[in-house]
Amino acid sequence: MGSLISCISDPCPSSSPSAPAPAKRRSSTSSRGRGSSVGARDAAKAMAIDEEALAAAAALVLGQRGAAGGLGAFERSASVRYAAKRQSQGPPLPRSCSTRPRSLADPELQPQQLVAKDLNTKDLETNIIVLVHGGGFGAWCWYKTISLLEDSGFKVNAIDLTGSGIHSSDTNKISSLSEYTEPLTSYLRGLGESEKVILVGHDFGGACISYAMEMFPLKVAKAVFLCAAMLTNGHSTLDMFQQQMDTNGTLQKAQEFVYSNGKDQPPTAINIDKGLLRDLLFNQSPSKDVSLASVSMRPIPFAPVLEKLVLTAENYGSVRRFYVETTEDNAIPLPLQQSMCGANPPEKVLRLKGSDHAPFFSKPQALHKTLVEIAAMPAKQAS
């Protein structure tokens, strides 16, 4: 999504889509202690993680190809699909798929260490969290967050917006923000009269949850903007990116416009060059998550990005907002995130140190802790 900044300054269409860079699979077998039982267990765990990542990617592709044939939807939570297998192998595996040494900023913690022992999610204002992906992403990107939140007692729903993830619509035919966010607004419309949720929007998903907050303010207990577009009334996501020019040219190099209506018409979608995904979005993320994204990301619909939001104090303004900053973000740099918070101050700003634009990959434990902290904040008393 960060790649949208140069679409006005560089109207020339890309001559041909860049071929995706071949994914490099890293060996997960330890070269030390091969004869020891500890080394064997570590190797078995690493291999199992690799198998889960590959199975998730394969299931996504099969779900997309078989949608017309009636195949089931992609099962987003690997913790459900592999639960029985892991139980037979011993203690549960750590949730992070990283093969690199874990950063001190994102230590491996068990859910019971992240959530206070006396916290019962059923006693919260709401224990339902709805995850809304950013431009080009899909519900698949939240797989670590889903697992951690479910283990902590939350009910989690990750939405595939129109033309994203395994949603079958053609991205090039999406003509409005209303159409793009329909899966989210349809979900909120179907909630019970007294039910509320916590909305979490990433990247362009920030504009989507803002739209939903304006439509259903009474059904949103809290809104979390995760390195996301947090816009003011009368502004579009494209307006936001015009505030920050990319000094090293990565954004301009990464974008590839799609002109499905002809080159004499406005772009219908934007692709991101697979070879530049890591530099732009995943500069701190594990290699296997970058590989998953490279085979799963879809074009970003252009029309919703251009649409200016209508936000009122009575609806949008009545919902509690929280912003989560990411310090190593190359797509929406920290100064731009801080500028949005200055122009449209949320109730509280939290920070994920060392996170790139995909904290659900690069800092899953820290992100989980932050979301639990927000969820546990007591409801404000009506004045």
Catalytic positions:
203, 329, 357
**Contacts of 259-264 spanning 24+ positions with Cβ under 8 A:** 259/13, 260/172, 260/173, 261/172, 263/13
> What's the one-letter identity of residue 293?
A
Rounded to whole angstroms, the Cα distance separating 181 from 167 reads: 12
DSSP collapsed to 3 states, 241-294:
HCCCCCCCCHHHHHEEEECCCCCCCCCCEEEECHHHHHHHCCCCCCHHHHHHHH
Query: Is 229:202 a contact under the CB 8 Å cutoff?
Result: no
Strand partners, 351: 325
Phi/psi of residue 198, nearest 5 degrees? -105, 120
DSSP-based three-state secondary structure for 323: strand
DSSP-based three-state secondary structure for 130: strand
In the block, which residue shows the tokens 């954004």? Answer: 251
- What does the block give as tokens for 321? 């907002």
Residues 359, 365, 366, 367, CA torsion sign: positive
Rounded to whole angstroms, the Cα distance separating 263 from 350 reads: 43
Beta strands 255-258 and 269-272: pairing type? antiparallel
Q: Exposed, middle or buried, 277 (CB in 10 Å: 0-12/13-18/19+)?
A: buried
Beta-carbon contacts of 140 under 8 Å, excluding residues fewer than 6 positions away, are 56, 60, 74, 76, 165, 292, 296
Phi/psi of residue 321, nearest 5 degrees? -115, 145
Strand partners, 322: 224, 348
Beta strands 220-226 and 320-326: pairing type? parallel
